[in-house]
Amino acid sequence: MVSDRNLSKNVCVIGAGPSGLVAARELRKEGHNVVVLEQNHDVGGQWLYEPKVEHEDPLGKTNVQSVHSSIYASLRLTSPREIMGFTDFPFAVKKGRDSRRFPGHRELLLYLKDFCEYFGLREMIRFNTKVEYVGMLNYPEFGKDLRWIVKSKEKESEMGVEEVFDAVVVATGHYSQPRLPNIKGMDEWRRKQMHSHIYRVPNPFQDEVVVVIGNSLSGQDIGMELVDVAKEIHLSAKSLDVSEGLSKVISKHNNLHLRPQIDSLHEDGRVLFEDGTSVVADTIIYCTGYSYSFPFLDTKGIVVVDDDRVGPLYEHTFPPSLAPSLSFIGVPRKLIGFPFFESQAKWIAKLLSGKRTLPSWDEMMQSIKEFYRSREVAGIPKHNTHDIANFEYCDKYADYIGFPHLEEWRKELCLSALRNADINLDTYRDSYDDSEMLQEAYQSSHFTHLGPEAF
């Protein structure tokens, strides 16, 4: 629904990563007063590489991680740069920088810094400021204005600040809190165990026998990187029916082995697999993903994280009982992130200004229940609730606010990269066959509207 009202709100955005930055921009564009609280010294969120991880819990069992970024030194993007830009700010090649189509992580950080400078966002951001508490000033009644107490602390001075906001946008990301499997003997295994959250470089694993658990993107990347330094790498996967690309990589390296899931770990260093085989390992690296965590947020149990399902959230964004004054941006995974975050940000901003309205509480809750039911029918585990992997959903979401659908070239370039990675895992970032679609992308308004002088 659309309304002509235009209400200016005081809004706190938590996090200055991609989703927080685009939220700040859209909120200001709608006339809101915005403060962004960022715990690090610069923008970027996950993309602000942090090499110093010595003091981090290797398995991330603490509720709050002192290191936010999980990026390793060699990480390159898994999607081509052309599809990743916000709709009005292309991720274009700049002179003297990493010009590869699948650049290293620093290039994306520089893109976010460019975005921040171009739209003048820094003035809204308080750096080195950790949010310690977000809670309701008054208990909510649906449809009534709700305000939020936000307590934060400046890193250097340790000075605490308490403020009241009309709305809070949580944009803290979801690749920092390690998710661990439950393996028999984990607590008794005395050798080195770590989550990929603190993996940075391969050097420490020289001549070691390493078990890498999980063959997702990070598991494959780390496994391939270790072949030049480790004595043996055993990649433990849920299924031995792996992609053609991974099979090719394994066949090229005598020290890289595919293994089934782990049955148990033993004090003598033995790792027993479900097929009865075993190895004596020096290190286990858990590439088992991440959990959603909002340790600062107190909603009196209205919003909970249950086996990585954040809910209840209407369209992955609004808790019905607290909407629109509390929202989450960037929760969904497995989609073309930046344009989706942008559409979320526009929706949040317009709802807070009164130009749009949400459905009734009953309608939102019914929608959430139907979504959960559809996931269950499809056999999708609860912890994958927010893994979208669906262009149609992104377009449906865009329709709520009149946001443009994903361009066909963006969808096709995404699918082309996925297909290429499936077949050529170790070369897909440097060898591709999508030139026709690429030309269509470069001729689209996404790349031409700012003019050449912008780059």
Domain for residue 312, yes or no? yes
182 within domain boundaries = no
Report the Cα–Cα distance between both ends of the chain, in Å, rounded: 38
Domain membership of residue 57 (yes or no) is yes
Model pLDDT, residue 144: 60
What pLDDT sits at residue 63? 74
Determine, yes or no, domain membership for 317: yes
What is the 3-class SS of the chain, one letter each residue?
A: CECCCCCCCEEEEECCCHHHHHHHHHHHHCCCEEEEECCCCCCCHHHCCCCCCCCCCCCCCCCCCCCCCCCCCCCECCCCHHHCCECCECCCCCCCCCCCCCCEHHHHHHHHHHHHHHCCCHHHEECCEEEEEEEECCCCCCCCCCCEEEEEEECCCCCEEEEEECEEEECCCCCCEECCCCCECCCCCCCEEEEHHHCCCCHHHCCCEEEEECCCHHHHHHHHHHCCCCCEEEEECCCCCCCHHHHHHHHHCCCEEEECCEEEECCCCEEEECCCCEEECCEEEECCCEECCCCCEECCCCCEEECCEEECCECCCECHHHCCCEEECCCCECCCHHHHHHHHHHHHHHHHCCCECCCCHHHHHHHHHHHHHHHHHCCCCHHHCCECCCHHHHHHHHHCCCCCCCCHHHHHHHHHHHHHHHHCCCCCCCCCCCHHHHHHHHCCHHHHCCCHHHC
Same domain, 131 and 264: no
Number of domains in the chain: 2
| In a shared domain, residues 37 and 150 | yes
Alpha-carbon span 345 to 57, nearest angstrom:
34
Q: Which two tokens stand for residue 321?
A: 């009982």
Q: Residue type for 286, please?
A: Y
- Asked whether residue 138 falls in the same domain as residue 156, the answer is yes
Q: Are residues 299 and 202 in the same domain?
A: no
For residue 262, the enclosing domain spans 192-286
Tell me: do 44 and 168 sit in the same domain: yes
Q: What is the pLDDT at residue 4?
A: 44
Task: Provide the CATH number for the domain around residue 268.
Answer: 3.50.50.60
Question: For each of the chain's 455 residues, which pLDDT tens digit applies?
Answer: 444 456 899 999 999 999 999 999 999 999 999 999 999 999 999 999 999 999 999 999 887 788 999 999 999 999 999 999 999 999 999 999 999 999 999 999 999 999 999 999 999 999 999 999 999 987 656 546 789 999 999 988 888 999 999 999 999 999 999 999 999 999 999 999 999 999 999 999 999 999 999 988 999 999 999 999 999 999 999 999 999 999 999 999 999 999 999 999 999 999 999 999 999 999 999 999 999 999 999 999 999 999 999 999 999 999 999 999 999 999 999 999 999 999 999 999 999 999 999 999 999 999 999 999 999 999 999 999 999 999 999 999 999 889 999 999 999 999 999 999 999 999 999 999 999 999 999 999 999 886 665 54
Is the distance from CB of 98 to CB of 37 less than 8 angstroms?
A: no
How confident is the model at residue 5, as a pLDDT? 56
| Domain-embedded: residue 183 | no
User: Is 409 in contact with 444 (CB distance < 8 Å)?
Assistant: yes
Do residue 348 and residue 317 come from a single domain?
Answer: yes
Same-domain status, 272 and 153: no
User: How far apart are the C-alpha atoms of 323 and 142, rounded to whole Å?
Assistant: 8
251, 286, 321 - which closes a domain? 286
Structure tokens at 385: 């609730």
325 and 369 both lie in a single domain:
yes
Is 204 in contact with 73 (CB distance < 8 Å)? no
Tokens 């992104």 belong to 394
CB 165 within 8 A of CB 148: yes
303 and 277 belong to one structural domain: no
Residue at 114 is within a domain: yes
Cα 363 to the chain's mean position, in Å?
A: 28
**What is the per-residue pLDDT for 371?**
96
| Same domain assignment for residues 257 and 376 | no
In this structure, which long-range contacts are made by residues 60-65, counting pairs with CB atoms below 8 Å and at least 24 apart in sequence?
A: 60/177, 60/178, 60/180, 60/195, 60/197, 60/198, 61/178, 61/180, 63/293, 63/295, 64/293, 64/295, 65/176, 65/177, 65/178, 65/197
Amino acid at 429: R
Structural tokens at position 66 = 């002192």
pTM, two decimal places = 0.95
Contact, 17 vs 171, CB < 8 A? Answer: yes
